[in-house]
Every structure is written in C-alpha cells, then in structure tokens.
Amino acid sequence: MFQFHNISEYQQALSTGAVQCVDVVKHYLAQIESRKSLNAYVHIFAEEAVERAASLDQKRMAGEAIGKLHGVVVSIKDVISYKDHPLSAGSKMLSGFNTLYNATAVQRLLDEDAIIIGTCNCDEFAMGNTNEHSYYGASKNPFDESKVAGGSSGGSAASVSAGLCMVSLGSDTGGSVRQPADFCGVVGLKPTYGTISRYGLIAYASSFDQIGVFANNVEDAEVILDVISGPDANDSTTMPTKTNLSEKAKPLKKLRIGVFSNATKHLSLDPEISDQIIHLSVSLEEEVKSVESISLDLIDFIVPAYYILTTAEASSNLSRYDGVRYGYRHPGEQKELDLFYKANRSNGFGWEVKKRIMLGTYVLSEGYFDAYFSKAQKVRKKLVEEATKIFNEYDVVLLPTAPGTAFSLGNVEKDPVAMYLADIFTVYANLTGIPAISLPLFRHSNGMPFGVQLISGRQNEVTLLEFSAYLMQHHKQYS
C-alpha cells in the first residue's frame, strides 16, 4: 500500500520505478471515497486525474524533462480558478459555474507537472472559521468528526490531514489557512502579502487575501511556495522580485526570538495551550541567541479593526454577484431592476455572507465612515508601524494559532461572537501583511492536535521556514 512521507521521497520512488503516478492517484481516490464523511471535497476530478497521471508516467519513462512537482497530487480550495472546472466558493450564488481561466498559482502547479485531484470545501466566499457556512455543509475534523475542520479552508486542511492528497492550496484572509491547519494537525503557511499572485482567487477582502499552503511538513510547504510564488503581470500587488528560498538564514545560535506575552497569557487562551507555548519558549532559551517576552499593545483592537476593514472590502467585492451575467438567478419574475437584484442576492447568498456585506456597507456609509472605517485604518497603520519596529529587533515571534482546539460542530450558531473573537491571534499577520505559519507540535489532553504560530518580518520566509523546520524536527511531541 502506498504511503506518502514527503515530496522528495515520493519523487525518488517515481524515479526508481518503485511507484507509478497512476497507482498513486488511484490510491488517493480510494482514500477520498473511504472518508467521504469528512466532506472535504466538493468536486473530484477522478477520470481526468488518472489520465494526467498516465501521461506523466509516460513522459517520465520516455526520459523527457520533468517538472519540480512531477506527480504531486494537489487539492485546491473552492475559491481558486481551475480552467473549465467548477468554481463555486462554497456558495449557492455560483453553483453550476465553470471558470474560464487558470489562477496563476494553479497554472504554475500544472507547469511543474502537478496533478489536481479536486476542489475542497470552504466557508461561503471564505467567510468563516469553522467551515459550517458552506452551501455543501460542514467539513469535519479527521481526528474527531464531531469537531469542525476549521475555516475557511477547512476542506483543504482535512484533505491533507486525512491523507486524501499530498498538499493543498487554501486562502488566508484572517487566518483561514493557519487556523484549520492548527485544528487538523498539519502545517499551514501564509506568506507575505503579494508573494503569491491573487489572479484567479475569488476576492473576499483584496488587501488581506493571500493564497497559502497546507502540507504534512515544512519542506513540502517550501517546495510548493517556491513554485507558485513570484511576480505576475496579472496582479499588480505581487512583489516585484521572487524570494530566494535557497538562501541560508541566520545560524540558530544567532536568532532573536520574541514571544507575545499578552497573547500567551490571554484570558481567552486554553491553559494547556498556554503552558505548552510558554514551556517551548523556555526550552528555546538554551538553543538560540535570545528569547524575550514582548507586548502587542493593540491586541484588543485587532479583531474589531479586522472585521470593519474586511467587511467593507467584501461589500464592494461581492457587489458583482447580481445574477445578470453569471451565477444564481431567482426563478421568479421581477419587473423592476432593484427587486431583481434583491431576489438574486437574498436567495443566492447565505446568512453569514449577507451579514458581512451589510456590516461592510454600514461602515462605509455616510456618517459612519469616519467613526468606523477611518479609525480601523488608523489602527492598521499603527500595527504596521509596530510590526516594523518589532522585526527590526526580532527575527521570529511566537504566539498561539487559536485560543483552543477544534470547536464542536454547531458552536457557531450558539455563540457567533465567540467565533469572531477566536481569530484574535491570526488576523495580526493579515493586517500587517507579514508571513506566518502554524506548526502542529502538540497534542491536547482531549486528544486533539494544536500548534504554535510563528511570524516574521515582511519577505523573511527564509528565516521563518528554516526555524519552523527546526521546531518540527526537535520539538514536535507526537508523530
């Protein structure tokens, strides 16, 4: 039976003839079928994936040049365009819609011989942190199906965690890669804003959104990042130069590590998670140059600022879904244009998306723009200035990924405010545009995985990834 450990070993096995791409794809299709209850996938491209695998086997055996991701089986979140395939953003609004072009990230995967096996479930238009706001129902946690997989990229996280693919692409607007990675016990990487092109990514909040990577280990996440990152003429917000991930970071003994003390001791944080992260920071004191406690002064303003700004951008971005050119159109006849729009949008969008559109419209409206939106922008500016100062002094900062382990299904309906506040530790990286990663180092006494989040300065993925690999090798407490 095929077992996947990492991309490097897998490709070595392909080169020796120990495995074939076709057999590997069939293995993953069987695994997907056996764990259908997780609801991780919304569309599976079984026949196409097998055909592509066969062509890659033929290419390799013919001695032709092969790509960096030759035979790697990938899933993608249902907000990333894959030409001539369904793209619905987990919403009734786009049910039945097929995209017309490849996202830049997807094209770069295909150019390097990757195999896309399917699209993964997510919260509708990436709005949520439990994956319960999906038109297709909630994705479930592979460790305990009574728990959520996290959101909004819950299906992607579950697909990697349960062994239903090798790696997956998600999107991270406020923690939507890192939090589900934390809940499902996998690595979740959100690079610096602009590292990966957003061309072909359905927009939620354009100045926050960034494609991210799920993997079983740091090395695989780095391989995927190296392939899909870089400038793109189709996205003016991409970085003008590609980060050279082959550079060496500072030696471990010279690293300066910070720990956000008001995060690790925050009242919302599970005591067991707090203890483990504090213990980790103490252990690191003997291994690196310095480990110091620092304070994130604006921590209580982060979540309000995030939701004001992202909903404002969402109200603008989602105005294009009107049922005129594509997407859901209400079957009833409407003689007036405004009633036509109202019928389509009221019935096409789910309640969470409608809430966020209305909130965003409200904070942008006359009389409230200065009271809410302008103040949130000022908070964001201060956070960026503060982050610049912090990373002039520290190479990496440690903090929790989430306040607790995976929530039970249904909690979002009982206490929606608590669900919003659960983003407290992840949205900082999106507000400031810095890279962040969640590492699955620990197991809670309740049996669920949890990890630690690392953040670094803008475009300092080299240090972030090297230190992450070190922690996974020397401080992971379970396998």
Give the catalytic positions in this structure: 77, 152, 176
**CA 434: distance to chain centroid?**
14
Q: Compute, in degrees rounded to 10, the torsion defined by CA atoms 265, 271, 272, 274.
A: 0
Strand 73-77 vs strand 167-171: parallel, antiparallel, or unpaired?
parallel
Residues 6+ apart with CB under 8 A from 319: none
Which residues is 258 bridged to in the sheet?
A: 292, 397
Distance between CA atoms of residues 39 and 149, nearest Å: 10
Find, among 304, 299, 226, the residue nearest to 69 by Cα.
226
Distance between CA atoms of residues 133 and 151, nearest Å: 9
Residue 271's alpha-carbon distances to 264, 268, 423, in angstroms, are: 9, 9, 17
Per DSSP (E only), the strands in 196-279 are 211-215, 256-260
Distance between CA atoms of residues 258 and 81, nearest Å: 38
Distance between CA atoms of residues 392 and 191, nearest Å: 19
Task: Report angle CA 76, 78, 81 to the nearest 5 degrees.
Answer: 75
HSE-up (13 A, CA, CB side) for residue 191: 30
Q: Would you say how long the chain is, in residues? A: 479
Is the bond into 315 cis (omega within 30 degrees of 0)?
no
